[in-house]
Structure 1
Amino acid sequence: MTVERKSETTPKQYDVIVAGGGPSGTMAAIASSRSGAKTLLIERYGFLGGMITNALVGPMQSFHSREEQLVTGIAQEVIDRLVAVGGSPGHVKDMVGFAASITPVDVEKLKYVLQEMCIESSVHVQLHTVVTGVRMDAGSIRSLEMFNKSGASEAEASVYIDCTGDGDVMWLAGVPFEKGRKKDGLAQPMTMMFRMGGVDLTEVRAFMKSHPHEFVLVDGWESCSHVGVSGFFSLVRSARLSGELSVERDRVLFFELPVKGEVSVNMTRVIRYDATDGAALSAAEILSRQQVMEVVRFLNRRIPGFGAAYLINCGTQIGVRESRRIQGKYTLTADDVLSGRTFDDVIARGSYPIDIHSPDSGELDATELNRGSAYDIPYRCLLNDHVHNLLVAGRCISATHEAIASARVSPTAMAIGHAAGAAAALAATSGAAPGDVDVRCIQRLIAQQGGNLGIGHETRIEE
């Protein structure tokens, strides 16, 4: 029997199309739609949230510098709504002291909050859909080709935002990009995050109190409401020497989740694999789940508080720290980050340390900003010289290997996404290219939507 497959011959029309429903993409779509643009959000999974929800990357770090809250606006609205439904305690002090604040989240409740905010903002959400191609016309994207259970289709818009994380749209459109570190192209390792329940955090705290030299701890850590562990160094070293633990990791790293006795574990490490290579990504997924089982056994046998703990789930996919980065009109550098550089065309701000998980070993190299400092992310990092109606947001912005190690974190990605959505809406509704929109208008709109581009905001870190 022959079954006729339905296809759409006329592309659907939008003002703005956002590819990728992660932290940057959801913020971009909400900001765009709230700014008056008819907006489509395309997401390959059946839910929104990206690395936070599909890869369990958490807690969120950091909404704050040491002095103020940098990421506000729509991103803070997400947290406020999560707190209201019992999905987060809000911003709390980081026991490890690596970030100014951490924000534990219940990923299932986050999926719900993000979809409801999109619906309420009149975003057209298309789940289980992947971008398969780009149709170009004289240096601009004419349409995106997509595929889902209904088959192939197309959608057209005035402005497109690539929030895929891997820069899939800009790659398909032929925009130049970079990957990995300069000397050999190796990117930061991928990690399969996983949740464990039944952890006795009282026992963990007691061990930390009696063995403080085994941990990275902030001053006054005992008063922190939520446990964060970076340590058990000697136990990890012993297990590696005995062959019990083969994962290239030098420490136990986990954080307490909103549900009592549950933690998010960040200990697997898949090095020398390219997240934009299909075969390599498949191999990385398989290896990472093998590592999860090895780590769980180690935690059960060796780590205080984990004797009766159990695996709840792994991420839907492996967590990716770095892949393609667009060659933009300006490239954010490590010096920009560390010096707290300001820019006239600022559209977001960050303060997370340069956090480089070695691409070829188990080491972690972190370079902190000066206390209280923050840096600007200029609008030019979202633009390029090759495709005039394309913006990028999230970890595929124009930045060096070192700079993206700071700017890649989810709150910063949310702020960048917010800016991209506001800029795209202004461009689409005025008939201008994104690069021709007056950045002061973008800044004004971000501020109207609650974003912080330099004006002091109330700090909301719960002690």
Structure 2
Amino acid sequence: MNKLYDIVVAGGGLAGTFAAVAAAREGKTVLLIEQNGYLGGSLTACGVGPMMTAHAGEKQVIKGLFEEMVVRMMRDGYSCGHIKDTTQYVSYITPFSSEGMKLVLDEMTAEADCHVLFHTFVAQADCRDGKITSLTICSKDGLSKIKAVVYIDATGDGDLAYMAGAPMQKGRPGDGLSQPMTMNMKYGNVNREELKTYLLNHLDQFPRLKENRKLIEESSHLAVAGFADQLQKAIKDKEVGFPREELLFFETDRPGEFIVNTTRIIGNDGTDAQSLSESEREGRKQCAQLDRFLRREVPGFADAYLELTGPSVGVRGSRQLKGRYELQTSDILSGTMFDTRIALAAYPVDVHNPDGSGTSSCFEMGEKGCYSIPYEIMFCDEIANLLVTGRCVSASFEAQAAIRTTPTTAAMGQAAGLAAALSLESGIPLAEIDRKKLQKKLMEQNVVLLV
């Protein structure tokens, strides 16, 4: 491969896909590299769902390409759109079909004329004078070189940035431990009416629901956080061998189909091949334990069938860029509106305990109920032609626990693609582009930056 691209994007989750689409729609030649055979990242490769959240209370604060994708999925019957979250953790969630998402993302990238290479990894980054000059990629063809003017790391783990020598950090301060991984499960044929009846008759067992009976009665799709007593007994009796405080499961776009997000894989490293391999096996071991528990203890699951365990284990966090600015927890809690913001978000600080049981959440986000993402967390001063987007941007351990979810990473990806295109058009380095011009372009594309 000898072609020189304007932009190479590594990683085809929502962040990378929308970076590629945004740049290609600006007329740039874009190569999108993805390790799987499809786009969507954790939403299609890890069994993650629903998407949460694009809303701050009743106001939708994430639109742009993310909303375009949702509308296309609704058009084709792959999503019911944004609905109330019956767990009350956030205001709205977005159930979807992971298979339908693959089709829609293929459609969007093809229409934008993105060149996509599936089953491909970045193996090496060559640098000179503070710039990436080429990448070595690994695929069925073996090793080959590719070149671009601008590179975007949307790998989730900061693989490209790390290989290029960008400053990185990993895990929480002190011990470097990351949040636990999770192997999700998807069930079909859940008797949702039996489950719904149980919820309505036992609201005292579901603290987040007991004040919202009407929400359960009227919701088209169920989301459940609870069954804590039953789960803790199973853990005590050693029927379940991992520490988790309660069950968490969500109905997909299809009635009676549920994603269970409950397993907890502690102490492993998403950037270490051996550790990641062990996490996959441990995750499925925990799924087997949880499967027996669900069928026995949870109303509606007795005749359900296990459709899949996550094709890959879900990694919440690993490497983070040490960028021009590091997003702080205080920025989230105070709802800081940066002058250089490129996205808004409203998912709370949500830290799964790296040591074991427990999840710490903080829902403070200032008087507007949301916060902003500044452009400066997507680049560092050491590598001039590199942008980093998605969950591996420059953020503190706790702040990353808020901005890691897919609607937010989708918004960051769109901004990265437009920033790269603007840099190429103007001849101005990524770190110095006109933030107001970038914001104007984003808002012209239905991105929300004002509340």
Instruction: Specify if TM > 0.5.
Output: yes
The Cα RMSD (Å) is 1.1
Within 1, Cα distance between the matches of 2:192 and 2:4? 52
Residue in structure 2 matching 1:204, options 195, 198, 203: 195
Counterpart for residue 414 of structure 1:
410
Match of 1:19 among 10, 32, 45: 10
| TM-score in terms of structure 2 length | 0.97
The reply to whether residue 345 of structure 1 matches residue 340 of structure 2 is: yes
State which of 136, 139, 145 in structure 2 corresponds to 1:148.
Answer: 139
Residue 289 of structure 2: aligned partner? 294
Instruction: Give the count of matched residue pairs.
Output: 446
8 Å CA contact retained: 1:352, 1:369: no
User: Are the aligned partners of 1:37 and 1:429 in contact in 2 as well (CA < 8 Å)?
Assistant: no
Output the CA distance in 2 between the equivalents of 1:372 and 1:346.
Answer: 15
**Structure 2 residue 433 is the aligned partner of structure 1 residue 442:** no
Deviates more, 1:66-75 or 1:326-335: 66-75
Secondary structure in structure 2 of the residue aligned to 1:394: coil
Looking at structure 2, the residues matched to 239 and 206 of structure 1 have their Cα atoms a distance apart, in angstroms, of 23
Alpha-carbon deviation of 1:246? 1.4
Q: Is 1:243 the equivalent of 2:234?
A: no
Letter in 2 for 1:435: A
**Structure 2: which 5+ runs fail to align?**
none
Larger mean Cα displacement after TM superposition, 288-297 or 432-441: 432-441
Give the AA of the match of 2:346.
S
Give, as a single letter, the amino acid of the residue that structure 2 aligns with 1:15.
Answer: D
Q: CA offset at residue 99 of structure 1? A: 1.1
Partner of 1:332: 327
Amino acid aligned to 1:451: V
Structure 1 residue runs of 4 or more that deviate by more than 6 Å after TM superposition: none
Q: Partner residue of 2:215?
A: 221
**Which residue of 2 is the match for residue 430 of structure 1?**
426
Shift of residue 260, structure 1, vs aligned partner? 2.0
What residue is the counterpart of 2:45 in the other structure? 54
Q: Secondary structure at the match of 1:291?
A: helix
Give the distance between the partners of 2:370 and 2:38, measured in 1 at CA.
32
- Measured after TM superposition, the shift of residue 277 of structure 1 is 0.9
- Aligned partner of 2:384 among 378, 388, 401: 388
Q: Tell me the TM-score normalized by structure 1.
A: 0.95
Aligned residue number for residue 366 of structure 1: 361
Is 1:40 the counterpart of 2:36 in the alignment? Answer: no
The residue type paired with residue 324 of structure 1 is R
CA offsets, 1:329-348, max 9 Å, x none? 00101110011001110001
Name the CA distance, whole Å, in 2 between partners of 1:38 and 1:427: 14
State the shift of 1:73 in Å.
0.9
* 1:105-130 CA distance string (max 9 Å, x none): 10000001001100001111111111
Percent of pairs with identical residues = 42
Q: How many Å separate the matches in 1 of 2:444 and 2:185? A: 38
CA drift of 1:450 comes to 1.3
Asked whether the equivalents of residues 335 and 368 of structure 2 are also in contact (C-alpha less than 8 Å), the reply is no
Q: Equivalents in 1 of 2:219, 2:169: separation in Å?
A: 40
Letter in 2 for 1:356: V
Aligned pairs for 1:7-406 (under 5 A) are: 8=1, 11-215=2-206, 216-217=208-209, 219=212, 220-222=214-216, 223-370=218-365, 372-406=368-402
Q: Aligned to 2:381, what secondary structure does the other structure show?
A: coil
Q: Which moved more, 1:407-416 or 1:362-371?
A: 362-371
Gaps of 5+ in 1: 1-7, 457-463
The one-character-per-residue Cα deviations of 1:400-427 (angstroms, maximum 9, x if unpaired) are 0100111000000000000000001111
8 Å CA contact 2:7–2:148 kept in 1: the answer is yes
Shift of 1:224: 2.1
String of CA shifts for 1:420-444, please: whole Å, max 9, x gaps: 0000111123322211211111111
CA shift for structure 1 position 194: 1.3
